[in-house]
Structure 1
Amino acid sequence: MTGQVNTKPRGRQFFNNPGPTNIPDRILRAMDRPVMDFLAPEFLEMHRACYAGMKRIFKTDQEVYFHASTGHGAWEAAVANLFSPGDLVLVIETGYFSLGFKELAETLGLKVEVVGADWRKGLEFAKLSERLAADKGHEIKAVLAVHNETATGMVLPLAEVRRAMDQTKHPALLLSDTISSLGSMEYKMDAWGIDVTIAGSQKGLMLPTGMAITGVSKKALEASRKAKLPKYYFNWELMEQRKPQRFIGTVPVHFFFGLTESIKMIEEETLEGVFSRHARLGEATRAAVRAWGAKGNGPTLYGQTEERLSNSVTTVLMPEGHTSDAMRKIALERFNLSLGGGLGPLMGKVFRIGHLGDLNEPMLLGCLATTELAMKTAGVPFAPGGVDAAIQSLAS
């Protein structure tokens, strides 16, 4: 028999993008059920359980709101509820998504200053402290931060951001995007003095894309009562009037079916267990990348500040003269492995390995071995031993 060979890869795809992430079968099964009236007692009980569960995950005793949107919707909800046209906010530069937060704030009519930082090294806190201390009239209304920059694989220590604000006695609000850190790395909304926590469903919470969750402090709620930016769908005050679900429009009940199961899975493992697993998998990934670049001409870790490297995503810098897009195309089309690409100015220069959410050691080792296979097929130079290094890290 002759004819064209079918080269479509078989078997289950290894999905190692840093978001969306793998959806566990338990969550898929929890969502595979008939629709329910969102005024039914059974659903109201489920909604209350999700509300309480997200408070535990945020580590807050304050307010929580749900929106049918991506994390960008939660960005917009935070800005629209808190500010008036022309208000000044500071954005801490961490990478592509921090500048997206800046763009959104400017589009909604705010004045934005950026505290610049080297994407590979992270913020120098003296710069933040200096700018806050210089603001004698307290014109700066808020500091906007991305806890874990998905594009660079670098963490911003939020407790240190709060410390800089407290030491300069600055009353600004602190807003934190936790989209690629929540449910993967330690996060303490109340203890760290976060006024607004911005989260999405599709990463550490292991759900489909489309639900945004926002934690809001009492201080932020007070500020929202004076804000003049227009809002309707994202209006927290209007949501408060629509109890018990506090939702504008029809409630997406299937997301709550899934979120109920997600919270169960996280709390069965315990938050500390989840963080420990992500730390193990993150360090094993970094061990593999270090091994690949050991001879000086292979891929290397993009981030250069060791203590700020992320436990949910690793960004890998390609060797000179090689594009990540060609290697990623081979990984996907020949070997059924999906890796993240570079964003903005990093496009083609890096690839990203997501190791967050529903992931274990065999899944990670399969990803790392197949990444080596794709690099070899694409002619990317690398030192051997990356998978062995990852195994040594996990075994120890």
Structure 2
Amino acid sequence: MTSRTGRHFLQIPGPTNIPDQVLRAISAPTTDHRGPEFAALTTELLASLGPVFGTSGPVVILPGSGTGAWEAALVNTLSTGDRVLCVETGHFATLWQRMAQDLGLYVDFVPGDWRHGAAPEDIAERLAADTVRTIKAVCVVHNETSTGVTSRVADIRRAIDATGHPALLLVDTISSLGSIDYRHDEWGVDVTVAGSQKGLMLPPGLGFNAVSDKALAASRTARLRRSYWDWRPIIEANRRGLFPYTPATNLLYGLAEALRMLEAEGLPAVFARHDRHAAATRTAVQAWGLEVLCADEREYSSSLTAVLLPDDQDADKVREIILERFDMSLGAGLGKLAGRIFRIGHLGHFNDLALAGTLAGVQMGLQLAGVRIDPSGLAAALDILREPHG
């Protein structure tokens, strides 16, 4: 193996870099997960999670990835043969709708071009046409990790309300929670899905569902089979600071530390930092003469930027050169975007100098790969990073 010095630049859009203090928290000795010390930790965690989701309702912590949290959102609220409306915003929206089909749900899949978010007017049109109210849920990915496009959930909620349709709103925030402003209660979301390995600055292994009263009511009549993912025993045990089965104990230690870090910085400052880094990254991309994949500036992601290369260039080759020469990992194009884009993650535990180094590595890699760019891109980004910020 090639000997490396310095740290590896992990600039994929998740899993993200883990802060040292979170790693130290995870490495603490394991305690009795049915004892009073752990019950106190659980109670503190559940209270601290609410503001991150923007909810005063229950947040269910699941030992699993975001994919497990997807499944939990569906099986707790729906029954076999129910009709759901899913919107094609990218690779992960496509996977979620496939899961819904595998679970025995009938899926209306609104097609998309992977360059735009879920269109509120398209959802409203589908719901307005459903005069007999057969659609039971709308599934939307807030920030599509495969494309760097953020759907406008507040506008979607208003569009649903305008139709008077009673469908549940299920939203995936796996790559936006803790990085992009999100408001479960205010936006009328019924189930918010999240994972631990992105804005929450943890390793993979925890999934989350924030749950509205309407979703809890639906769970009492839902008939899809569930056991491990069942909210009811988890919420009941959580009232005593416990879990119905062995939780991911040491990851919860890390979660407590990550939540303290977010609270100390302040969520508005966290979101502003992500917005600023995203703006600097887009500025570099555009100054290079390349194209940001997201085609609507209202939907630019603050978690990641997907860069579309000219048709005669191989994005995977660019990524390979950058990894070999500069020890930096960038996100690959997924699904129909394979080889056409690369993705720069700028979320989680991240600062100005880390972004400057990331963009320098990308610029050098593009040049080494023979991609025709204007070398002023890095300087343009640095101009933004030099500006004072609050």
TM-score range, shorter chain: over 0.9
Q: Is 2:380 the counterpart of 1:389?
A: yes
Tell me the residue number matched to 1:3. Answer: none
Tell me the residue number matched to 1:175. Answer: 170
1:330-345 to structure 2, matched below 5 A, reads: 330-345=321-336
**How big is each residue's C-alpha offset from its partner over 1:5-58, in whole Å with a ceiling of 9 and x where there is no partner?**
x75432211111000000000100111111110122221111111101111111
CA distance in 2: counterparts of 1:60 and 1:251, whole angstroms:
23
Amino acid at match of 2:295: Q
Tell me the residue number matched to 2:247. Answer: 251
CA contact (8 A) 1:9 1:335 kept: no
CA contact (8 A) 1:63 1:217 kept: yes
Aligned-residue offset at 1:307: 1.4
- Given candidates 10, 19, 29, the residue that maps to 1:15 is 10
Aligned-residue offset at 1:383: 1.0
Aligned-residue offset at 1:246: 5.1
CA contact (8 A) 2:179 2:270 kept: yes
Q: Is 2:280 the counterpart of 1:262?
A: no
CA distance in 1: counterparts of 2:209 and 2:116, whole angstroms:
29
CA distance in 2: counterparts of 1:123 and 1:215, whole angstroms:
21
Q: Is 2:69 the counterpart of 1:74?
A: yes
CA distance in 2: counterparts of 1:207 and 1:241, whole angstroms:
26
Aligned-residue offset at 1:242: 3.3
Aligned-residue offset at 1:332: 1.0
**How big is each residue's C-alpha offset from its partner over 1:75-107, in whole Å with a ceiling of 9 and x where there is no partner?**
000111111100000002211111111000000
Q: Is 2:21 the counterpart of 1:30?
A: no
Aligned-residue offset at 1:126: 2.3
Aligned-residue offset at 1:245: 4.2
- Given candidates 192, 197, 204, the residue that maps to 1:197 is 192
Amino acid at match of 2:251: F
1:49-128 to structure 2, matched below 5 A, reads: 49-128=44-123
Tell me the residue number matched to 1:296. Answer: none
Tell me the residue number matched to 2:356. Answer: 365
CA distance in 2: counterparts of 1:10 and 1:380, whole angstroms:
27
Change (3 A) 1:309 1:232: same
Aligned-residue offset at 1:303: 1.1
**How big is each residue's C-alpha offset from its partner over 1:143-171, in whole Å with a ceiling of 9 and x where there is no partner?**
00000001110010000110111000010
Q: Secondary structure at the match of 1:183?
A: coil
Q: Secondary structure at the match of 1:257?
A: helix
**How big is each residue's C-alpha offset from its partner over 1:165-218, in whole Å with a ceiling of 9 and x where there is no partner?**
100001000000000000001000000000001000000000000100110011
Aligned-residue offset at 1:386: 1.1
Amino acid at match of 1:311: S
Q: Is 2:148 the counterpart of 1:153?
A: yes
Amino acid at match of 2:265: E
**How big is each residue's C-alpha offset from its partner over 1:281-332, in whole Å with a ceiling of 9 and x where there is no partner?**
0000000000111xxxxx3111111111100000000122111111111111
Flag structure 2 segments of 5+ consecutive residues without an equivalent. Answer: none
Q: Could you state the TM-score of these two structures normalised by the residue count of structure 2?
A: 0.97
- Given candidates 259, 264, 275, the residue that maps to 1:279 is 275
CA contact (8 A) 1:240 1:246 kept: no
Tell me the residue number matched to 2:338. Answer: 347
**How big is each residue's C-alpha offset from its partner over 1:240-292, in whole Å with a ceiling of 9 and x where there is no partner?**
34343453421211011101100000010000000000011000000000011
- Given candidates 287, 296, 307, the residue that maps to 1:316 is 307
Q: Could you state the TM-score of these two structures normalised by the residue count of structure 1?
A: 0.95
CA distance in 1: counterparts of 2:241 and 2:229, whole angstroms:
14
CA contact (8 A) 2:194 2:209 kept: yes
**How big is each residue's C-alpha offset from its partner over 1:109-153, in whole Å with a ceiling of 9 and x where there is no partner?**
000001222221333332221111111111000000000001110
Flag structure 1 segments of 5+ consecutive residues without an equivalent. Answer: 1-5, 294-298
Q: How many residues align?
A: 386
Change (3 A) 1:321 1:112: same
Tell me the residue number matched to 1:291. Answer: 287
Identity of aligned residues (%): 47
Amino acid at match of 1:201: S
**How big is each residue's C-alpha offset from its partner over 1:58-77, in whole Å with a ceiling of 9 and x where there is no partner?**
11111111111000000000
Q: Which moved more, 1:326-335 or 1:224-233?
A: 326-335
1:37-52 to structure 2, matched below 5 A, reads: 37-52=32-47
